[in-house]
Amino acid sequence: MLRSLIVDLSKLRLCPVVVTQVREKGHLTRPRLRNPYWFVRKERLARDTTVTPENKTFLQEVIKDKYGPPALIKGIPSYDQSALIKTEQFERQPWHEKARRCGLIARKIGQYPLWLKNGERIRTTLLQVVDNHVIRYIPPQEYQPAQRPSVVNLNKYGCLLVGAESVDPSTLTKEYCGLFKDSGVMPKRNLGRFIISPEAAIPAGTPLNVAHFRVGDFVDVRGKTVDHGFQGVVKRHGFKGMPASHGVTKTHRRPGNIGGGGEKGRVWPGTKMPGHMGNRWRVAKGMRIWRINTKYNVMWVQGSAIPGPTNGLVYIYDTILPLRKHKTAPPFPTAFEEELEALTGGRDDVWYEDVHDFKNETITFQPDKN
Amino acid sequence: MNATRGVLSASWLKGNGFKRIVTFSTKAHAKEITASHQKHIPSAHTPTGTSDGRKSVIPQNYRFIYPEFLPDPKVEWRNPVREKLERMDMLDRRTKIDIPEFYVGSILAVTSSDPHAAGKVSRFVGICIHRDRCGLRTRFILRNIIDHQGVEVRYELYDPTIQKIEVLRLEKRLDDHLLYLRDALPEYSTVDLNMEPEFLDENAVVPINDIKVVLRPRPWLERWERQNLQGVVNVDQYITDKQRRQAIAHEKPWEKYDMMKQYRATIPEEEQKEIYAEVHSQLHNLEIQRKRNKRKRSFVKPTKLA
């Protein structure tokens, strides 16, 4: 109102060039946070009052006709790796050291020890790659995210959208199901994006499995840590607390002093204090893959401190640690039929050379010569 | 987990909601557990019929012989695929080494590869005082007195450096653990290092040794008076009135009625059956193999000494 009045008045003036100062908050109200296009409402509001049991069975039949049998039957993938690859529009390119490959979406399914051939015990975490499919590839020209991931030279990289865990589409919204239309795969419960170099692009609809990595490779595993809620300093930062008795009153698990006086008489930034613990994204870097099971799509990864609870979702990447990066060509852009054969040689279980296979004889040490 | 919840409600509907098998007993009702052990053992190798009329081939006592095949009952840590893979690895290991049936209180000899030992092999004989965890992490503690010094070695059951596990005397004790032997007189945990194995008759009931140990005076490593131990004779001798009163105050007699606690601490019977049905055929083959080996061993001529 005021603005239009000023403009109108300025038109009445004789001076031809007019600079009208408009001091409004318009530049602040524009949306700064624009989510990626695949952030749409997933769950549909269930209105089952009008749906009869016959309708339901009919829906299930339609789903089965369209997408085939369920992707996982008792944890084992039911589909053929080569069946869904559309090779006619796809040309494989050679791997080079600067190439960024796609990663995988997995579930942390637990942990148990393995033993090395020198008798040493290692703790491993089992990650199951859950029914991953490529949903879409966005080339570098089109990929301009509002929230830029911290990747150097982002404009050189494209984005690969990967989905994990098929779900019944009748429980999802139309918009969400629409995301999967081009790829031809069943809608997925989880979506993740991977920043990849254009050479590593994979056509939509390609299944990804655990053979994407080899035994002995190093991976970074990213997950959301266990949520502990608001915690005190003893649990959150491992403070010692104070004695339980000997005249101590009301200060058993308190932090004590939090700063000095005088010139530094304030609470310094970064002081360890109570607060929310866990529920953060964390990356366990440079973890070696000790063993791979291609039947169940499981990999055994070094360490028992992989972020997240058991049965929680994690993302697996090639490691960024410079000394542990791939020295030789990994399956590029992902493992297809021939790589799968080369990796397994017909076996389900692939063990790293240092790891003791439980099918082998007991470990013995040779007595010293002298 | 929806599956376990479904199982619970189903069993409630059937009206046998309290028919649970306790694999890890809690302290408060240790007596009942030992009683149930005794009750189950006579039916050792006899297959029992199921409710639907068919005969189950899985022996009832598998949950005592192979307790480590049951996963940790903590719901947050369970995953069917992981448990299956773990069981497959355990069976693979069992085909390479004969892991015999043993209990807390049995006397074992473990031969293991040791890079620091003189001949790269070490053998330790002792009484099993503790057995815990499940799956590939199953472990047990052997205790013995060597040169007037108590020695304990903790072994992992599926450690591939273990070459041989021999049961020298197969028996049970009155308690779930014998950690109190650390505070008992040394003769109760002294075992002869050159002990010969004592063979039990096949299909014989595993005997329960009801020996009561004598504790040394305080200080003790734990408050044994609060643990309702059956295998100790003189706990009362060394504690004061105050400690006695506190032990009574810390009793939890209501816990044996806490069905939810029991449910959370155990694997339901239906799931146990599923698990043992999966591993039964391989375990059974291994048992047959072991029996054959044992027969072979009994025909070996004694070697002439000197």
pLDDT (tens digit per residue) in A313-348: 999 999 999 999 999 999 988 888 777 777 777 788
- The answer as to whether B306 is a domain residue is no
CATH of residue A196: 2.40.30.10
- The answer as to whether A1 is a domain residue is no
- What's the domain count of chain A? 1
- The answer as to whether A196 is a domain residue is yes
Residues 57-96 on A with a CB inside 8 Å of B are 75
| Nearest-CB residue to A110 (from B79, B92, B161) | B79
pLDDT tens sequence across B24-38 = 444 444 444 444 444
- The answer as to whether A94 is a domain residue is yes
Residues 151-180 on B with a CB inside 8 Å of A are 156, 158-163
List CB contacts (< 8 A) between B159 and chain A: 115, 121
| Nearest-CB residue to B159 (from A115, A310, A367) | A115
List CB contacts (< 8 A) between B90 and chain A: 358
Question: Per mean pLDDT, which range of A54-68, A218-232, B126-140, B151-165 is the poorest?
Answer: A54-68
In the predicted structure, residue B73 carries a pLDDT above the cut 70: yes
What pLDDT sits at residue B292? 87
The answer to whether the CB of A134 falls within 8 A of the CB of A105 is: no
- The answer as to whether B42 is a domain residue is yes
Helix (H, G, I), strand (E, B), or coil: what is residue A286?
Answer: strand
pLDDT tens sequence across A80-97 = 544 555 555 678 889 999
For residue B160, the chain A residue with the least C-alpha distance is A362
B198 touches A: beta carbon within 8 Å: no
A293 touches B: beta carbon within 8 Å: yes
Q: Which domain holds residue B204?
A: 2-298
Mean pLDDT for B76-89 is: 95
Q: How many CA atoms lie within 13 A of A203 on its CB side?
A: 13
pLDDT band at B2 (very low <50, low <70, confident <90, very high): very low
The Cβ of residue B60 has, within 10 Å, a number of other Cβ atoms equal to 17
B277-298 burial: b if 16+ Cβ within 10 Å, else e: ebbbebbeeeeeeeeeeeeeee
The Cβ of residue B243 has, within 10 Å, a number of other Cβ atoms equal to 16
- The answer as to whether B202 is a domain residue is yes
Q: Which domain holds residue A170?
A: 53-227+278-351
Two structure tokens written together for A365:
């040490």
For residue A127, the chain B residue with the least C-alpha distance is B82
What pLDDT sits at residue A79? 59
- The answer as to whether A269 is a domain residue is no
Mean pLDDT for B58-76 is: 92
Q: Do A112 and B137 touch (CB under 8 A)?
A: yes
List CB contacts (< 8 A) between B278 and chain A: none
- The answer as to whether A243 is a domain residue is no
- The answer as to whether B56 is a domain residue is yes
Q: Do B159 and A128 touch (CB under 8 A)?
A: no
- Return mean pLDDT, chain B: 84
CATH of residue B210: 2.30.30.790
Question: Per mean pLDDT, which range of A4-18, A181-195, B208-222 is the poorest?
Answer: A4-18
- The answer as to whether A360 is a domain residue is no
- The answer as to whether B305 is a domain residue is no
Nearest to B178 by CA among B127, B239, B218: B127
The answer to whether the CB of A363 falls within 8 A of the CB of A117 is: yes
Nearest Cα of chain B lies from the Cα of A111 at a distance, in angstroms, of 8
User: Tokens 């040689």 sit at which residue?
Assistant: A345
Share of chain A above pLDDT 70, in %: 87
- The answer as to whether A34 is a domain residue is no
pLDDT tens sequence across B245-285 = 999 999 999 999 999 999 999 999 999 999 999 999 999 99
A69 burial (CB, 10 Å; 0-12 / 13-18 / 19+) is exposed
Q: Give Cα A368 distance to the centre of its chain.
A: 49
pLDDT tens sequence across B93-140 = 999 999 999 999 999 999 999 999 999 999 999 999 999 999 999 999
Share of chain B above pLDDT 70, in %: 79
A361 touches B: beta carbon within 8 Å: yes
| Nearest-CB residue to B136 (from A75, A112, A362) | A112
| Nearest-CB residue to B81 (from A115, A128, A361) | A128
Q: Give Cα A43 distance to the centre of its chain.
A: 21
Share of chain A above pLDDT 90, in %: 60
Helix axes B2-14, B269-298, angle to 10 degrees: 90
List CB contacts (< 8 A) between A358 and chain B: 89-90, 92-93, 96, 158, 160
- What's the domain count of chain B? 1
B281 touches A: beta carbon within 8 Å: no
What pLDDT sits at residue A21? 75
pLDDT tens sequence across B148-192 = 999 999 999 999 999 999 999 999 999 999 999 999 999 999 999
- The answer as to whether A268 is a domain residue is no
Q: Do B95 and A296 touch (CB under 8 A)?
A: no
What pLDDT sits at residue B301? 61
- Cis status of the peptide bond prior to A255, with omega within 30 of 0: no
B86 touches A: beta carbon within 8 Å: yes
| Nearest-CB residue to A113 (from B76, B81, B137) | B137
Give dist(CA A101, CA A97) in Å, integer. 10
pLDDT band at A75 (very low <50, low <70, confident <90, very high): low
- Kindly list the distances between the CA atom of residue A292 and the CA atoms of A124, A238, B77, B94, B205, in Å, as whole numbers in the listed order: 12, 36, 21, 21, 43
